A and B are shown apart, each in its own frame.
Chain A
């Protein structure tokens, strides 16, 4: 046992010295491999954290939203719908919502105007998202004017800027009182943009949606889980686009790394021949070279993953954010909560460390099983 431990120590010692002897090659490989891991891990971490953030936001969203459709387009809910919905069994709570979009030609951005259901906003005041505040240079107490679709000019005072924490969903948000909203968008009393419902029994959500479809054939119920799925597919699509764009670069780096790792120089072959000639077993040579490859790829994996973690969670993914998180003109600025998915880490590890180890081991194995004399002669 003691001899075995000593032998492993000798092998590790020789591995380290071997790495140091080929500094340029190994540092080059480390750099390229770190870059590959960094790129892949950044995209993975970012989209995963974004999905997580979206899912957390949706936890507080209504279970069902009912929208009225006219000629295949979203239209206002007329009076009377709310009362009829209240009579459907299983509906626990119902609320008519008022929201709409406004294009601001000053900054060429779309805002989302909304009447909050859970807080009162004084007439003539607005609560605005941090993205909008940045775009228009607004501070609390400032006045802002908008020309409505009817051509009339409306002026509001900024009462509050929404907290930075909620920027993922509130960057372009404008909260407004019901009276101001109705007069600004010219919506008559009793009309709503859509209706939000909550259902007492979560298992009954689909049944309630079916009843809604039956009783209101001109409307469509949208379930929270459907929104979540849409978010998922959007992020999957965005992740795919980024990976597709980056794939050429990743492929080029991967080919370079593979070639460097799998090609044995004449010196390396000769060294394997010498080791075999002086009494090293094939297994010893393979073990030593395996440790060499494993150290490079593990170091690259750890450094690349750590750099990606810092990039995503400390530096707000400055490299990919415009592609991955922007779906409006006002890009939200927000810090994602650090989330690490074990499965993703394992997948990344499997697709980076293992191919490298295999790439290094195969040519070494070929050299190591040949007669030492033949290997030394080249």
Chain B
């Protein structure tokens, strides 16, 4: 369970260009659900996602993960939580150029220092599950958009996190690849993962596997949608 209370996020505080991206978000996100944030550009979806995923800190407000208040934790502990709990799929994929698909997938596990052979096998297996085994040695810049996204998904799963966070996951994909992504999402939900994503793509937010769609505008939640019947 993730709980947010009175979350505010301001950028350039005290300057002329001060900007409030989030203006008092109160939210409760259940586990093992697929939740989508919907809203126009600048509505604060990505900022909210980065706060949920401990990629940034709120200017004020509290974040609870399970029974633990993580708002005031030092960076080191946040990194630990990020590594153990979350897997990220970014809109621009954020893969490291020059590294192979396999190396990119293995990267989040490096700080854990596990056995190389085991890590290698797990990364290969994830790429295999996502039908990318034949492209494992290819440099990331030589992969198509869809392939890059699947590498990003494999990377998000390498440490077996409980929560998958995806920011506009279908923004750079055509319809076919977007459908493929939704199928992967369904599989992740099926194995008990919590999925939190942002999107304004109807293909995503109207999909039956999405349990909850939360509308945002101007840094506020405007229309919380109740959990869809029969999707749990």
Interfacial residues, chain A to chain B (CB-CB below 8 A)? 2-11, 14, 17, 20-21, 267, 270-271, 273-282, 284, 369, 371-374, 376
Closest to B158 in A: A278
Residue of B at shortest CB range from A17?
B99
Q: Are B116 and A6 in contact (CB under 8 A)?
A: yes
Q: Which residues of B contact A (CB under 8 A)?
A: 47, 50, 55-57, 75-76, 79-80, 82-84, 88, 90, 94-99, 103, 107-108, 110-116, 155, 159
Instruction: Give the secondary structure class of A's interface.
Output: helix
A267 — which chain B residues lie within 8 A by C-beta?
97
Q: Give the tally of cross-chain contacts (CB within 8 A).
A: 84
Residues of A contacting B82 in the complex (Cβ-Cβ under 8 angstroms)? 277-279
Contact B113 A373 (CB under 8 A): no
**What are 9 pairs between A and B in contact, CB < 8 Å?**
A6-B115, A6-B116, A14-B107, A17-B103, A271-B96, A276-B79, A277-B82, A278-B88, A373-B47
**Across the two chains, which residue of chain B brings its CB closest to A23?**
B98
A372 to B46, CA, bound (A): 13
Known contacts A4-B113, A270-B94: does B79 contact A280 (CB below 8 Å)? Answer: yes
On chain B, the residues within 8 Å of A271 by CB distance are: 96
Quick check: B98 and A282 within 8 Å, CB to CB? no
Find out whether the CB atom of B110 lies under 8 angstroms from the CB atom of A280: yes
Q: Are B56 and A372 in contact (CB under 8 A)?
A: yes
**In the complex, which of the residues B55, B83, B90, B110 contacts A371, with contact meaning CB atoms closer than 8 Å?**
B55
Chain B residues whose CB sits within 8 angstroms of the CB of A21 once the complex forms? 97-99
Q: How far, in whole Å, are A282 and B159 apart by their CA atoms in the complex? A: 19
Interchain nearest-CB distance for A371 vs B (Å): 4
Whether B110 lies near A282 (C-beta < 8 A) is: no
Chain A residues within 8 Å of B99, by CB: 17, 21
Contact of B57 among A7, A270, A371 (CB under 8 A): A371
A7 touches which of B75, B83, B88, B113 (Cβ 8 Å):
B113
Chain B residue with the shortest CB-CB distance to A21: B98
Q: Which 4 A-B pairs have the closest CB atoms?
A: A279-B83, A7-B113, A21-B98, A3-B113
Establish whether residues A373 and B55, one from each chain, have CB atoms under 8 Å apart when the complex forms: yes
Q: Is the CB of A5 within 8 A of B113?
A: yes
Q: Which of B50, B84, B110, B155 has the most CB of A within 10 A?
A: B110
Contact A274 B96 (CB under 8 A): yes
Instruction: For residue B167, give the distance in angstroms from its CB to the closest CB of chain A.
Output: 10
Known: A11-B110, A274-B94, A278-B88. A373 touches B56 (CB 8 A): yes
Most chain A beta-carbon neighbours within 10 Å: one of B55, B57, B103? B55
Whole-angstrom CA separation of A45 from B222 in the bound complex: 74
Taking a contact as CB atoms closer than 8 A, the residue among B47, B76, B96, B103 that contacts A281 in the complex is: B76
Contact A282 B113 (CB under 8 A): no
